[in-house]
Structure 1
Amino acid sequence: MVMIPKEINIGKNVTIKESVSIGNNVTIEDNVYIDDGCIIRDNVTIKKNSTIGARCILGEYLVDFYENHTEQNHPLTIGENALIRSETIIYGNNEIGDHFQTGHRVTIREGAKIGDHVRIGTLSDIQGHCEIGNYVNMHSNVHIGQKSIIKDYVWIFPYVVLTNDPTPPSENLVGVIIESFAIISTGSIILPGVHIGEDALIGAGAIVNKDVENEKVVVGNPAKPISDVRKIKNKVTGESIYPWRYTFDRGMPWEGEGYTSWHEKCTNQHQESE
């Protein structure tokens, strides 16, 4: 059985499986697939060509619902071509771009603004009021504290934690900032207010309590700089590997073209449009 109210806009070629509950003021665009047992709460927009896995909750209640069990107006927009895997929970008051993907059982709290081509791995937890850029890749079991800012093309590997409370427990939250093309390796902990520079590389298991300059490699507890990323070699080929955008392109907008050529083309197009 599917519960569909009158106040809903459904596009063409939409598939809604069994035991799906859909709230009011919901828009489901063309070619959307919603699997068994999903809950789509009020004020949710799912854009075209998206797939919602089984038992997901979209537009989950914020804390104000529990005052009198009345749903407030907290819209959620999910962009085109999303793939949201089973048992993911995304709260209201979120804006998510195109080509978004999650693993299973991801939680995204309210107040997040997420760009295009973002991937968030299984069991990761985005604690709301965050800004996440384009082409950000997070692996499994990542925790992103409130007020974090993650710029474009950042890689965050499993079991990374971005913290935000300098004197816990307190109300004085200070988010981490990670600049574009930075890499945060497995098991790292980034302490509140730390600023990670562009193209920086945080080694596995590092505890980072100070700002990291552009293109620096830091390791250890507490993390200390040991090198420039340009000195790091591929352990298999012996070739220079960083900045990684010149040597890796899978899933990137410059795939098959190379970063330099792609960047020059984008720059020329921008100048021509001005």
Structure 2
Amino acid sequence: MFDSTVKIGNNVTIKEGVRVGKNVVIEDDVYLDYDCIIRDNVHIKKGSFIGARSILGEYLMDFYKDKENKVHPLVIGENSLIRTENVIYGDTVIGDNFQSGHKVTIRENNKIGNNVRIGTLSDIQHHCYIGNYISIHSNVFIGEESKINDYVWIFPHVVLTNDPAPPSNELLGVTIDSFAVIAAKSVLLPGVHIHEDALVGAGAIVTKDVPSETVVVGNPAKEISSVRKIKNKITGEYTYPWRNTFKRGMPWQDSDYETWIRNMDINTLNIYK
């Protein structure tokens, strides 16, 4: 049925119309839904679900010169949930417990950590770094050379740009530090650095670096407050740093952030960096 170089584990479900290339590894308990295309050199780790009509290991530009697929491995981590019609290119590594919405595009040369969620119709361009426990909502554009550290929230229709003088040959990626929040429809201009625990308000156009624990809003975005002054409109409680008030889906969900961090040994902490 498939090339002799394909390795398929136990309890793998392969639905009608699935096509599998060469040097593919499909580990135990993987589910490939209807009409998926798994190109050469793809490794799907155990327990993952690949939605209908998705393409994994999509061709890079060098394919189109001679129509020969070069070696560009793709790794999909354990227990990933990739919904219908995703396109994920080669030369990318995705960690465990990944989740995507529908029609997500992830280009080549990306490194994506564990417990990352990327929403429907989002586009991750090439040469990006995305850390652990990151939520990227629907219709987000992440330009190449972006760096997003752990525990960042990016809400719908956000754009991370990278060309300081379009069109030019120099790219300046955006950097977002851990625990920052980027609210809906904001635009981050090339090279800006959003520091830890900062909050970019909805619709902001960010033209310069945002210091730690700072709220910025407007066009151009300007500082209006410390995040520590913001209260939840429903409960009246102080909201930020959000890790002290929110824990659903986080590694500290069974206790609280301070207890979790005290109980972590240094080797375990390195997993989340």
Question: Which TM-score tier does this pair reach, normalised by the shorter chain?
Answer: over 0.9
Q: How does 1:195-210 map to 2 (within 5 A)?
A: 195-210=193-208
One-letter identity of the residue aligned with 1:34: L
Could you tell me which residue of structure 2 aligns to residue 179 of structure 1? Answer: 177
Partner of 1:133: 131
The question of 1:40 aligning with 2:38 is answered: yes
Distance 2:267 2:18 in 1: 45
Deviation readout 1:217-244 (Å, 9 max, x if unpaired): 0000000000000000000111101000
Letter in 1 for 2:130: I
Normalising by structure 1, we get a TM-score of 0.97
SS, match of residue 55 in structure 1: coil
> How far off is 1:4 after superposition?
1.6
Q: Which residue of 1 aligns with 2:116?
A: 118
**Deviation for aligned residue 1:256:** 2.3
Partner of 1:160: 158
* Pair 1:225-2:185 in alignment: no
1:122 and 1:4 map into 2 onto residues whose CA distance is 31
Task: Tell me, in whole angstroms, the C-alpha distance in 1 between the residues paired with 2:266 and 2:139.
Answer: 40
The TM-score with structure 2 as length reference comes to 0.97
Which amino acid in 2 is paired with 1:211?
Answer: D
For this pair of structures, how many residues does the alignment match? 269
**In the alignment, what sits opposite 2:237?**
239
Structure 2 counterpart SS, 1:49: coil
> What RMSD, in angstroms, separates the aligned Cα atoms of the two structures?
1.1
Number of the residue aligned with 1:193? 191
Partner of 1:57: 55
Q: Tell me the secondary structure at the aligned position of residue 243 of structure 2.
A: helix
Q: Which runs of 5+ in 1 are unaligned?
A: none
Separation in structure 1 between the aligned mates of residue 102 and residue 108 of structure 2, nearest angstrom? 19
SS at match of 1:260: helix
1:15 aligns with 2:13: yes
Q: How far has the Cα of 1:267 moved from its partner?
A: 4.2
Deviation at 1:268, TM superposition (A): 6.7
The aligned amino acid for 1:153 is: Y
Structure 1 residues 138 and 74: CA distance shift in structure 2, 3 A: same
SS across alignment from 1:67: helix
Cα drift, residue 123 of structure 1 = 0.1
> Is 1:145–2:137 an aligned residue pair?
no
Pick from 70, 74, 95 the counterpart of residue 93 of structure 2.
95
Amino acid at match of 2:65: E
Within 2, Cα distance between the matches of 1:114 and 1:49? Answer: 18
Q: Deviations over 1:139-161 (max 9, x none)?
A: 00000000000000000000000
Identity of aligned residues (%): 65
2:29 corresponds to 1:31 = yes
CA spacing shift, 1:270–1:107, aligned 2, 3 Å: closer
Deviation of residue 270 (structure 1)?
Answer: 5.9
Partner of 1:109: 107
Counterpart CA distance in 2 for 1:158 and 1:236 is 22
Distance in 1 separating the partners of 2:192 and 2:19: 42
Matches of 2:245 and 2:266, distance apart in 1? 23
Distance (whole Å) between structure 2 residues aligned to residue 230 and residue 220 of structure 1: 19
Please, which runs of 5 or more residues in structure 2 have no aligned partner? Answer: none
Q: Which residue is 2:72 aligned to?
A: 74
SS at match of 2:144: coil
